[in-house]
Structure 1
């Protein structure tokens, strides 16, 4: 009926049935025995320590006590009904109390018998008690599923708990599967990998992750399952990369022609950093290989990615190809367009911009020019992927802040030429090394790790609410020097739930502290009409206003070299990555710039660490590593739906060594056996084939 008993639907498992099976599918996405077997505990309670009753204190989180049931009494009626058990050992007596499951307690707990009681102790009326303890006979029963001294705790949900599928209930179902079907678990890793890294078998790993026989075996089980998880992610990513280089031919950019040379030798207003030169060289080599380039450029805010992008697009133009650059927002697209126009001074190539707000007339002209090749570089938003947008000969696609675009959106750009264009992905959000290997493991990665010469590090200060007057005085000093200031708020309006200084209150305060006509204030937030937003931005960019009061809408896409101060209100409410992006709006000119983090007096440990990190370092990569530890990978990049980061066991913040081992192993395998044809790699070939069929089926359905 099924290829393996582990493929059996959960409805057939003892203790499940149709209703529970439907709940497990809806709440946890579990449909088969194997899927439930791969639902790992997220922590363990150490059940090796036993306490005497006279050792208990109410501050203990969870304890276990060996004792004898000496009496059992039902007290109260209806909803106040409860069972109270007197429980004793050689040092004293305590109470065990149940308000639910009374019939089970009445039928199963025997007077005079020895039990292990486990739960949270409380002290009331001169004695200790535990409400709804876990109770099991003493001595414990042993089985193939370990000694239960390390108690696994599973993720559940409120709906599952109402159907008695809490952690204990899920553990019981997994116990049934292991007892009946553990010998049907098939190995997924070749023997030479198991031997090289001294990994236990998959069968032993599953037994010991659910029911560890001891701490050492739990560590072996976790290491095996983490390696396997990270290994197969790398196998898929690097296989795709290899396949793409074989399958997709790429345009040849053999010529460094007049446009690149003229821009570099005559028009470039500053010297490139060594990091910029290195990345441009890597792009040059990629585009001479005859296969499609897929490269990620990581660069901290202000590191000069735009110039690298422009020189890459000029290289495409020199070889007879068009280039396009897609940004996630209109503000950022227009900012890129203006930067390119300013750098080129209206010479060398024809640059155009296309956004959702481009008029019908503008679009008609642009579409015609694009198709006949008059436009060399097109900058835009999602509007670029519309079917009406057709290129004469697209050779290079640059995607900025690409994690904001879906896979299908990016693919539409790739299909706009017979030979797929080269792909250059850029991000100003520094990505931790482990995350880059996992999320972008199929791309070649370039890092711009130098700031342009003359840029002074931004000084970051932390001030509490009581130091607000000092902050206002500092703003006035900077404006008197001819500088401009950003003030960013987390909220637009007052919130009943959050006691935060909001933008509307901030505007009133600013107008009182900085009255007309000496000070002009621009206001920008996400709920404004686009035209109003653009007007306010331009007022600030042109220096007609000295202060911009804004929400995080200015996180990316505003480049005002004269702005030297960034004030972030309620800075404790922002994530590290966002704080770093906001700080990157200043420090773009030659003058010393400052970032002031305003917070309340009470800060959580995490908030304190974020603020301290910002004050201590300007290095975005260092910040990203701390951010990964604090928030996890999905939150950092907004990729919780990406699939590749749905890790069941591995932790990218903690398992860097295992990830590197897994990736190096895959690289080594493909160097020796590119198409996985050797007999020792049959398990890996089967995995790739199965995944390929599954992806194809998903596309059909």
Structure 2
């Protein structure tokens, strides 16, 4: 067992009870976990204030002086500890504790000289310090001689075990005293020299106990680069191993199905972006290596046609193809649109979902196994063991972040030689996130909309404009158009949100009374069959207004719908607003997205709504969403298992990530197996973390 894999309970100052709470609260199990629990900010402890200098805008202050009195006030139910603290000039300030009163009252001593640190409160122009840190001046001289004091994240449960920020700092000090001789370099010396990096041992010492702002900055830069470097190394190394291990089926022929569709049945001319992506797929499928490609394209950019033409390429070469979607609605929509596009071909398209009847399932299973059924579209029902293909050559996964890795991997095993894989998303992914989450995939982007599509006009309106809004909706309906009105049902169990939807439906019903107007309603509490029936009524034009929650975010394609009204738009994230907006603008007519909000908006809410009004570019929206929310909140990041970031930030450190990727690409181009002596440190560090070869079940 290496030094850094030592269980945390063996560290001086921890023991079994503190170890348990560290594991539960901070996921700190070993010495390495603690070492990588980096400070989230630093406090300049070189500056001492006089009490007379304290102002309300100070985030924190540090004062040196003497405790001159202490008193417990109140009864057993509501008591507090009040202490008066005096500085060298005679200024006084009240120190107050509302929790841990008994313990603090015992530990602080009147007449002793302390350093007091905390965030000041002001009441009637008089400052006080609630729950300050106190440290005897005599003790402070012995401990942690650092100009910048680290501040560590903690929790109330940790604080109950004396593991507040200062308690964790003591543990870090205990660990570093032992750890420094064991810290080895993990980067090639040439990389360290090229980027003028701090050696790893110095970086880890400085990140916890910096001796100057400049050295702290260098330590942060080194450790951020290191995190990105090893993420990219794992992804790109896996990509190379994957290509070497998995021979791909060769689609050598561009035959009658592909050519016939392209020449005679393509409903519109392909954009240059679609042609470019098809060429990339074509090159992948003749390379002799398995394709693993991510296709990004904004809502309405024409991914389905690219997917279909890729399927036809597989069929021309004697293979079957399948498309897996996350919901029955989306799977059915793909089925209907692909069946419609192939109506002039003698090609059967199958649909397999949870709702498929047993008799129909048996027919599909039989036709798949004998090779009669060439294209199968469905939900996760496709990955059931009973579903066996005759010769599966291409797997397409739509909205792939909604599937777990294990679910997707089951499709690999449906053929002796793993099929080519194309994963698609209509959620534009920021470049840095794509490099990190999908760095082992080749990436294609459709960044053009089909000709004839008019940009959606987006407007932000306040509740006071509701009557004018209803007038505008009536004008659009009079032209034969249809309207979505979406409410933010954040949690299906929240009664308040459900009430908002139902209240909204009632007010809309009054403003748009039958028989002149017909309404549909869709929400997550409905049975799937009822939900589908309402959506179908709207799709057929039997209702003019669809009142819904975000269940219509993905899956409904109604070219006649020209207006999307989003209620309480400030409660949505940018990516979700953009997805909802993409439900309209499917036809040739001018479409509109109207963002309704209350008059009081947070600064973040205003930034989001202003961005939506300013641009229709999904990639610009996604970059802003990353900056506002961070990567952890974006769809797909939590289940990926890739974003093991302790200090680097995808939104703020994009330049470091890009540089780390270029560095890794150069390293692997020069030494694909990391066998050169100069790369031994990298390989050792890499393999210590169990990254020897790619998991054969990994897709994305």
What TM bracket, shorter-length normalisation? over 0.9
In structure 1, distance between residues paired with 2:544 and 2:371: 42
Cα distance change on mapping 1:49 and 1:281 into 2, 3 Å: same
Cα distance change on mapping 1:369 and 1:133 into 2, 3 Å: same
In structure 2, distance between residues paired with 1:414 and 1:391: 11
In structure 1, distance between residues paired with 2:30 and 2:422: 41
Between stretches 43-52 and 611-620, larger displacement belongs to 43-52
Could you say which residue in structure 2 is the equivalent of 1:358? 356
Q: CA RMSD in A?
A: 2.4
Deviations, residues 544-577 of structure 1 (Å, cap 9, x unaligned):
1111111111101111111100011111111111
Q: TM-score, length-normalised on structure 1? A: 0.94
In structure 2, distance between residues paired with 1:98 and 1:616: 49
* Matched pairs, number: 694
Per the TM alignment, residue 212 of structure 1 is displaced from its structure 2 partner at its CA by: 1.3
Could you say which residue in structure 2 is the equivalent of 1:136? 135
Report 1:120-131 matches (<5 A): 120-123=119-122, 127-131=126-130
In structure 1, distance between residues paired with 2:142 and 2:111: 26
Per the TM alignment, residue 692 of structure 1 is displaced from its structure 2 partner at its CA by: 3.5
In structure 2, distance between residues paired with 1:221 and 1:496: 46
Is contact 1:493–1:504 with CA below 8 Å preserved after alignment?
Answer: no
Is contact 1:273–1:452 with CA below 8 Å preserved after alignment?
Answer: yes
In structure 2, distance between residues paired with 1:494 and 1:691: 40
Of residues 607, 630, 633, the one that matches 1:632 is 630
SS of the equivalent of 2:414 reads coil
Is contact 1:205–1:224 with CA below 8 Å preserved after alignment?
Answer: yes
2:660 is the alignment partner of 1:691: no
Could you say which residue in structure 1 is the equivalent of 2:559? 561
Deviations, residues 439-458 of structure 1 (Å, cap 9, x unaligned):
00000000100000000000
Per the TM alignment, residue 536 of structure 1 is displaced from its structure 2 partner at its CA by: 1.1
Could you say which residue in structure 1 is the equivalent of 2:92? 93
Could you say which residue in structure 1 is the equivalent of 2:111? 111
Deviations, residues 432-471 of structure 1 (Å, cap 9, x unaligned):
0000000000000001000000000000011111100011
In structure 2, distance between residues paired with 1:591 and 1:163: 65
In structure 1, distance between residues paired with 2:175 and 2:459: 57
Is contact 2:50–2:87 with CA below 8 Å preserved after alignment?
Answer: no
Of residues 253, 268, 273, the one that matches 1:255 is 253
Report 1:233-382 matches (<5 A): 233-382=231-380
2:496 is the alignment partner of 1:471: no
Which blocks of at least 5 consecutive residues in structure 2 are unaligned? none
Per the TM alignment, residue 136 of structure 1 is displaced from its structure 2 partner at its CA by: 3.1
Cα distance change on mapping 1:613 and 1:636 into 2, 3 Å: same
Per the TM alignment, residue 102 of structure 1 is displaced from its structure 2 partner at its CA by: 5.8
Could you say which residue in structure 1 is the equivalent of 2:611? 613
Is contact 2:43–2:150 with CA below 8 Å preserved after alignment?
Answer: yes
Per the TM alignment, residue 52 of structure 1 is displaced from its structure 2 partner at its CA by: 1.5
Could you say which residue in structure 2 is the equivalent of 1:27? 25
Per the TM alignment, residue 50 of structure 1 is displaced from its structure 2 partner at its CA by: 2.6
In structure 1, distance between residues paired with 2:112 and 2:21: 39
Could you say which residue in structure 2 is the equivalent of 1:53? 51
Cα distance change on mapping 1:477 and 1:178 into 2, 3 Å: same
SS of the equivalent of 1:49 reads coil
Per the TM alignment, residue 132 of structure 1 is displaced from its structure 2 partner at its CA by: 3.3
Per the TM alignment, residue 142 of structure 1 is displaced from its structure 2 partner at its CA by: 6.5
In structure 2, distance between residues paired with 1:68 and 1:685: 56
Between stretches 36-45 and 255-264, larger displacement belongs to 36-45
Deviations, residues 338-357 of structure 1 (Å, cap 9, x unaligned):
11011112514221110000
Cα distance change on mapping 1:537 and 1:498 into 2, 3 Å: closer
In structure 1, distance between residues paired with 2:364 and 2:129: 75
SS of the equivalent of 1:223 reads helix
Between stretches 667-676 and 340-349, larger displacement belongs to 340-349
Cα distance change on mapping 1:571 and 1:107 into 2, 3 Å: closer
Is contact 2:323–2:395 with CA below 8 Å preserved after alignment?
Answer: yes
In structure 1, distance between residues paired with 2:316 and 2:14: 66
In structure 2, distance between residues paired with 1:86 and 1:62: 16
SS of the equivalent of 2:443 reads strand
Is contact 2:187–2:682 with CA below 8 Å preserved after alignment?
Answer: yes
Q: TM-score, length-normalised on structure 2? A: 0.95
Between stretches 37-46 and 115-124, larger displacement belongs to 115-124
In structure 1, distance between residues paired with 2:337 and 2:319: 21
Could you say which residue in structure 1 is the equivalent of 2:656? 658
SS of the equivalent of 1:435 reads helix
Cα distance change on mapping 1:283 and 1:15 into 2, 3 Å: same
In structure 2, distance between residues paired with 1:479 and 1:538: 18
2:5 is the alignment partner of 1:3: no
In structure 2, distance between residues paired with 1:466 and 1:125: 39
SS of the equivalent of 1:173 reads helix
SS of the equivalent of 2:422 reads strand
Cα distance change on mapping 1:462 and 1:492 into 2, 3 Å: same
Per the TM alignment, residue 137 of structure 1 is displaced from its structure 2 partner at its CA by: 4.5
Which blocks of at least 5 consecutive residues in structure 1 are unaligned? none
Is contact 2:352–2:382 with CA below 8 Å preserved after alignment?
Answer: yes
Per the TM alignment, residue 689 of structure 1 is displaced from its structure 2 partner at its CA by: 2.8
Cα distance change on mapping 1:697 and 1:8 into 2, 3 Å: farther
SS of the equivalent of 1:375 reads coil
Could you say which residue in structure 1 is the equivalent of 2:201? 203
In structure 1, distance between residues paired with 2:501 and 2:24: 40
Is contact 1:484–1:547 with CA below 8 Å preserved after alignment?
Answer: yes
2:81 is the alignment partner of 1:82: yes
Of residues 460, 463, 470, the one that matches 1:462 is 460
Larger RCO, structures 1/2 (Cα 8 Å, 6+ apart): 2
2:520 is the alignment partner of 1:531: no
Is contact 1:145–1:213 with CA below 8 Å preserved after alignment?
Answer: no
Is contact 2:73–2:81 with CA below 8 Å preserved after alignment?
Answer: yes
Is contact 1:489–1:501 with CA below 8 Å preserved after alignment?
Answer: no
Is contact 2:60–2:119 with CA below 8 Å preserved after alignment?
Answer: yes
In structure 2, distance between residues paired with 1:492 and 1:200: 46
In structure 2, distance between residues paired with 1:698 and 1:130: 58
Deviations, residues 232-256 of structure 1 (Å, cap 9, x unaligned):
0000000110001000010000100
In structure 2, distance between residues paired with 1:290 and 1:246: 10
Between stretches 231-240 and 178-187, larger displacement belongs to 178-187
